[in-house]
Amino acid sequence: MTTSERLIESTRELLWERGYVGTSPKAILERAGAGQGSMYHHFKGKPDLALAAIRRTAEELRAGAAGVLHGPGTPYERIEAYLTREREVLRGCPIGRLTMDPDVVASEELREPVDETLDWLREQLAGIVEEGKEQGQFGPELDGEAIAATVVATVQGGYVLARASGSPADFDAGVRGLLGLLAPRSAV
């Protein structure tokens, strides 16, 4: 790995573990095993490096979610697959957690990839709910965009529950509740 790559990967890890506010340039250099000057050689500074790291994490998250959301199955099954796919629940969401970071939220540049990723996710889910309505799997009264927001919120809030208790089962409980409410009428 090049130094620039090592810096980006170390920043991604630290942002996930400690957030932006909790990640010092010194900690990044130490983890990357890089010298003092190398950050400023490759990047304009911590915000610039963080932006590269966040963008890469966002791309990965999107690719992973797309595989499930646009995979096989009925609309309900694809939403179920998204909600129950394997996650490192106790680590939280590497993108969503950044919204609790005051310096990320205060920076339009750093917030942008976070906002775009969650928006993209909601659009995909809203499309799937609409598909399910057309197929009669979901009731016509359901609001696709609102349900999509609920699905993403349940995942993001599920991380909060699990990290509070230290148990992934609390993430699963929120997902189970939502799936029970979403269950196709024909299956009840």
Note the residues at the interface with its own copies (CB under 8 A).
17-19, 21-22, 92, 96-97, 99-102, 105, 111, 114-115, 118-119, 122, 139, 141-143, 145-161, 163-166, 170, 173-178, 180-182, 188
Please say which residue, 8 or 113, places its beta carbon nearer to its own copies: 113
* H/E stretch holding 183: none
| DSSP labels, 21-84 | TT--HHHHHHHHT--TTHHHHHSSSHHHHHHHHHHHHHHHHHHHHHHHHTSSS-HHHHHHHHHH
* H/E stretch holding 158: helix 144-165
How far apart are the C-alpha atoms of 82 and 156, rounded to whole Å?
Answer: 13
Residue 188 has a CB neighbour count (10 Å cut-off) of 6
Q: How far is the CB of 66 from its own copies (least distance, A)?
A: 19
Q: How far is the CB of 51 from its own copies (least distance, A)?
A: 15
Residue pair 176/170 in contact (Cβ under 8 Å)? The answer is no
Please say which residue, 9 or 112, places its beta carbon nearer to its own copies: 112
Please say which residue, 53 or 114, places its beta carbon nearer to its own copies: 114
Q: How far is the CB of 90 from its own copies (least distance, A)?
A: 8
Please say which residue, 59 or 119, places its beta carbon nearer to its own copies: 119
Q: How far is the CB of 47 from its own copies (least distance, A)?
A: 16
Residue pair 66/124 in contact (Cβ under 8 Å)? The answer is yes
Please say which residue, 22 or 67, places its beta carbon nearer to its own copies: 22
How far apart are the C-alpha atoms of 92 and 94, rounded to whole Å?
Answer: 6
Q: How far is the CB of 158 from its own copies (least distance, A)?
A: 5
